[in-house]
Amino acid sequence: MARITIATRESQLALWQANEVSRLLKHHHPDLEIEILGMTTEGDRFLQASLAKAGGKGLFVKELERCLLDERADIAVHSMKDVPFELPQGLHIHTILAREDARDAFVSNRYQSLQDLPDNAIVGTSSTRRSCQIHAARPDCDIQPLRGNVNTRLAKLDAGEYDANILASAGLKRLGFDQRITSYLDTEVSLPAIGQGAIGIECRQNDACTEALLTPLHDVRTARAITAERRISTALSANCHLPIAAHATESETQITLRALVGSLDGKHIIRASQRGAIQQMEHISQQVADDLITKGALELMAAIPD
């Protein structure tokens, strides 16, 4: 009987994702034996510091990858927005599931939207990307760090520590917190993180048995979008803690890619976008990256302190 071990973080959302992968695998392979191996990563332990200071989003995946390389697990399940752009030798993202809503959510108990907030309202987020764009839309807001799992972040809002929080819609929906979403931030106001809303499955390269089990779970449209978005960061040599965003959407025959790089205070935001045939995705990604660079993205990024 075939058997597979799934490495995952032990946060509520990460476990939901791992169990969803398990459910889908069982659907396609009813006789498959599945074990979920939960782990606490460095990213989960460094809750008092910003991700940038702690070492970036890669802290959430390094220990899971070590499990794969040591063959203690066969696959690791990640939020694609947390996956570094360079993977360890011998590993690759083989499968990407169909994407959930990629937008950011405005969550508040008293106000209906970002524009409804009073002057100097306290908004919680530890994302430099969100902070940059919220500053641009509402320069008066007092943006304060917000770390922890979804339940912790909502509890802090309910305790009155914040007037509003900005969270990923996908995570709220997956955990059954749809009703906590007060409104959605239009992507013109808050362009999503690269890979936001998508779940990726990492495994060892040339592990043909595991790859065969995963193949039915792969969503081609989502994978194309995520690939286009990640090429922006690769072209800019950007790391995860910079205020950078990219979002690709697809119609029947065309793909649209929008991207931005901003300053921490939101006073300077460089944007670029391109639309073209799906077959030209790689060219479109390069055009968007080149446009950002021409407009000064590299200089803007270099001015941001480590």
* Residues 6+ positions from 196 with CB-CB distance below 8 Å: 79, 80, 81, 102, 168, 170, 247
Q: How far apart are CA 292 and CA 265, in angstroms?
A: 19
The closest of 195, 1, 164, 171 to 80, measured between CA atoms, is: 195
Confirm whether 116 is a catalytic residue: no
| Strand residue runs (E) in the chain | 3-9, 33-39, 75-79, 91-96, 104-107, 122-124, 142-144, 164-168, 183-184, 199-204, 244-250, 254-262, 269-277
DSSP state of 57: G
How far, in Å, are 14, 62, 94, 266 from residue 9 at the CA level?
6, 11, 19, 32
DSSP state of 145: -
What are phi and psi for residue 203, nearest 5 degrees? Answer: -150, 175
Which of these is catalytic: 82, 104, 163, 207? 82
Residue with tokens 């749809």: 178
Active site residues: 82
